[in-house]
């Protein structure tokens, strides 16, 4: 941790947790064992982000497309996730962690949906690390849902079409009132975004690693943060403009 500049820790880290199945295959285990190991890795990363001073962590836990997987695997994964949430609830609260859900909760089985809603409610007053769990989430469907909501508000006269700006539109997404990610990490060697936070990552720094998710831990999280701290984020401005801004401070 001493290698990191505390003043430049990413405020919001988003992670595409990929590689559970391949990790299990390499070890000649069932896919569900890979998912168990992946949930353990998620807990470790939540704890590491909390210790590093990250303010927001968004985990891509289950995508809209994942419903296409074999029914048995999906059912087992939902059961694992449900049990893990119930088991970790007190530890999350003890750590002052607030939990939020982004995605289509109505797609989830009733028991896990109920547990998630209770966890969100009981952690609402916490003011430490915010953990966003992306469940039954898809970036395109999120944008389409946002468009439908804003069209309805225009039709109802609550806003006008000329009122719509990127900032206004952001309020119609699952992540309203949450700053965009500073850093997006994807594990397992895949070099794609997979329909994750398509609107929100316009200026996000990307970090790809070949490490399979169950093997991803605090040390590689630090490496990702170091990579982030060594980049220059200009947001469309020139180097000269950035230097002028630094000199004025």
The token duo for 7 is: 């003043």
The token duo for 6 is: 């505390």
Identify the structural domains of the chain with CATH numbers, from first to last: 7-248 (3.40.1180.10)
Average pLDDT over residues 185-192: 98
The helix, strand and coil proportions of the chain, stated in percent and rounded to the nearest 5, come to: 50, 15, 35
Mind listing the pLDDT tens digit for each residue in 43-95? 999 999 999 999 999 999 999 999 999 999 999 999 999 999 999 999 999 99
Q: Would you call 66 a catalytic residue per the annotation? A: yes
Instruction: Identify the pLDDT of residue 121.
Output: 97
Q: What percent of the chain has pLDDT over 90?
A: 92
Integer Cα distance of 243 and 195 in angstroms:
35
Q: Would you call 163 a catalytic residue per the annotation? A: no
Which position among 5, 20, 50, 66 bears the catalytic label? 66
Q: Is the pLDDT of residue 104 over 60?
A: yes
Assign 169 a pLDDT band (cuts: 50, 70, 90).
Answer: very high
Beta strands in 28-123 (DSSP E): 56-63, 98-102
Integer Cα distance of 129 and 43 in angstroms:
13
Global pTM reads: 0.92
Nearest to 7 by CA among 247, 234, 243, 225: 225
Give strand pairing partners of 63: 137
Asked if residue 65 lies in contact with residue 107, where contact means CB atoms within 8 angstroms, the answer is no
Mind listing the pLDDT tens digit for each residue in 209-238? 999 999 999 999 999 999 999 998 766 665
Asked if residue 25 lies in contact with residue 214, where contact means CB atoms within 8 angstroms, the answer is no
Q: Which residue has the tokens 């980049």?
A: 231
């Amino acid at each position: 941790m001493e290698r990191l500049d505390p003043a430049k820790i990413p405020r919001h880290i988003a992670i595409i947790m990929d590689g559970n199945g391949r990790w299990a295959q390499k070890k000649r285990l069932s896919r569900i064992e890979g998912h168990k190991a992946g949930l353990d890795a998620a807990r470790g990363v939540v704890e590491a982000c909390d210790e590093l001073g990250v303010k927001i962590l968004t985990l891509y836990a289950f995508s809209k497309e994942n419903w296409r997987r074999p029914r048995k695997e999906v059912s087992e994964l939902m059961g694992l996730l449900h049990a893990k949430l119930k088991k970790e609830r007190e530890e999350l609260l003890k750590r002052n962690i607030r939990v939020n859900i982004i995605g289509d909760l109505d797609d989830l089985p009733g028991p896990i949906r109920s547990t998630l809603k209770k966890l969100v409610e009981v952690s609402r007053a916490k003011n430490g690390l915010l953990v966003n769990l992306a469940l039954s989430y898809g970036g395109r469907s999120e944008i389409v849902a946002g468009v439908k909501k804003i069209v309805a508000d225009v039709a109802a006269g609550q806003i006008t079409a000329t009122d719509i700006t990127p900032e206004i539109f952001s309020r119609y997404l699952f992540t309203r009132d949450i700053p965009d990610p500073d850093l997006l990490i994807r594990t397992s060697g895949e070099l794609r975004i997979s329909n994750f936070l398509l609107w929100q990552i316009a200026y996000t720094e990307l970090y790809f690693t070949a490490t399979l998710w169950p093997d991803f831990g605090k040390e590689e999280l630090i490496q990702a943060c170091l990579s982030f701290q060594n980049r220059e984020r200009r947001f469309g401005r020139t180097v000269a403009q950035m230097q002028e801004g630094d000199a004025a401070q």
